[in-house]
Amino acid sequence: MKNAYESLLGGKQGAIGLLVLAVLILVVFPLALDSFRLSMVGKYLTYAFVAVGLVLCWGYGGILSLGQGIFFGLGGYCMAMFLKLEASDPESTKIQSTPGIPDFMDWNQITELPMMWQPFHSFSFTLLAVLAVPTLLALVIGIAMFKRRVGDVYFSIVTQAIAAILTILIIGQQGLTGGVNGITDLRTLNGWDIRDDSSKLILYFVNAALLIGCVLLGRFVLTSKLGRLLMAMRDKEERVRFSGYDVASFKIFVFCLAAAFSAIGGAMFALQVGFMSPSFVGIVPSIEMVIFAAVGGRMSLLGAVYGTLLVSFGKTYFSESFPELWLYLMGGLFIVVVMYFPNGLAGLWESHGRKWLSRFALGNKVFGQSVVKARVMSPVKVATPQPSRELETTP
């Protein structure tokens, strides 16, 4: 019991941090935001899966993947294929020249459901595919790269190339994938309408709970010996190798885990937003996801969630007001964070926020109770401690 407390919650500090996040996304957001804004947050939280995965594989494992959109996209496409098949029953597609197949196939003169799509009639197969397809691809990439000791910037470039290739492939195979528009007009999940407000709310909670589950799983990995090995490998790979470890297998594992997290995010995206398109697969979204993790703090699982929320909010706000400026702002933000705050918001919180908070708490002894509340209300400052004392690094 105590073990679970330590390894999943990361002791008292970690438990408080997690609680704050849980209250924020499970209570505060649903109460404070209207359904439009809430579904926006729900969409952002699907990106947070990718950022949490990046903390594991980039922050701790030292593997900078610039192609996490691949896995987000594949997870999303698997889910979207199932939903699209359900939306394309012969009754509602009877005006097509071939009823019973997705509309975009009909527009592309395809007269029969392709083999690749057949198994996606089954929901249990789909759930399996959501996890298995991206993870297996990550396994193949991982084995090909890490067993040959391809690392650092070369690995990043290769992942970026794969993201570009996959985008081109999806756009090119219009009849199979819906091309540049993606798979749109998703309606029901096993007969349950996913478009109305009440089902969106349920999906929001499912998504939030899954995200917290991924954070817990990430904590478990990081507080295990494997987590310490990852850090050891990042600093002294040779020493780990010559201590009897197959370094590649650990890198492959953490890369696959990050891919699986991203895939869950992608599937939840398709469910909540109601479509999936190649614009979430390619280089730009993949790099955006790295920025989420960098801003939040690449050494902090919870920080990555806050980073995702904050940058996504910023993106929505600024791209509405100054559409041309946004890309420059994003690039500038990344440079500033990497150069001056390498541990992101979580690092700032560790070095300044906590001190500020304790001074605040001491000055207002009477309002001691309100401290927790104040933290809830200011997500920017609430970047949470690292999984355990042993894992802390000096910047």
Partner 1 sequence: MNSPAGFQAAKPVLSIEGLSVSFDGFKAVDNLNLYVDRNEVHVVIGPNGAGKTTLLDLICGKTKATAGSIDFDGRELSKMREYDIVRAGVGRKFQNPSIYENLTVFENLEMSYPKGRKVFGALFFKRSAEVIARVEEVAAEIFLSELLDMQADLLSHGQKQWLEIGMLLMQDPALLMLDEPVAGMSVSERVQTAELLNRISQGRSVLVIEHDMEFVKSIAHRVTVLHQGTVLAEGSMEAVQSNPKVIEVYLGH
Q: What is the binding site for partner 1 (CB under 8 A)?
A: 221, 224-226, 228-229, 231-232, 235-236, 238-247, 249-250, 253, 390, 393-394
CB 249 → partner 1: shortest distance, Å? 5
Q: C-alpha 300: how far from its chain's center?
A: 14
Closest residue by Cα to residue 58 from 332, 383, 300: 300
CA 213 to CA 219: how far, in whole Å?
10
Q: Please identify, using beta-carbon distances, which residue of 163 and 240 lies nearer to partner 1.
A: 240
Q: Please identify, using beta-carbon distances, which residue of 89 and 392 lies nearer to partner 1.
A: 392
CA distances from 185 to 84, 100, 118, 122 (A): 7, 15, 19, 19
Contact 301, 387 (CB under 8 A): yes
Output helix, strand, coil percentages for the chain, rounded to the nearest 5.
75, 0, 25
Q: Please identify, using beta-carbon distances, which residue of 20 and 221 lies nearer to partner 1.
A: 221
DSSP for 86-128 reads HHT-TTTTTTSSSTTS-HHHHHTT--S--GGGGGGG-HHHHHH
Q: Please identify, using beta-carbon distances, which residue of 59 and 379 lies nearer to partner 1.
A: 59
CB 239 → partner 1: shortest distance, Å? 4
Alpha-carbon radius of gyration of the chain: 22
Q: Please identify, using beta-carbon distances, which residue of 228 and 354 lies nearer to partner 1.
A: 228
CB 243 → partner 1: shortest distance, Å? 5
Partners of residue 189 on adjacent β-strands: 192
Q: Please identify, using beta-carbon distances, which residue of 121 and 236 lies nearer to partner 1.
A: 236
DSSP for 32-98 reads HS-HHHHHHHHHHHHHHHHHHHHIIIIIIT----S-HHHHHHHHHHHHHHHHHHHHT-TTTTTTSSS
CA 231 to CA 331: how far, in whole Å?
28
Q: Please identify, using beta-carbon distances, which residue of 3 and 321 lies nearer to partner 1.
A: 3
CB 244 → partner 1: shortest distance, Å? 4
Q: Please identify, using beta-carbon distances, which residue of 229 and 309 lies nearer to partner 1.
A: 229
CA 383 to CA 374: how far, in whole Å?
13
CB 220 → partner 1: shortest distance, Å? 8
Q: At which residue do the structure tokens 């390619």 appear?
A: 282
CB 8 → partner 1: shortest distance, Å? 13
CB 392 → partner 1: shortest distance, Å? 8
CB 228 → partner 1: shortest distance, Å? 6
Residue 265 has which token pair? 């995010």
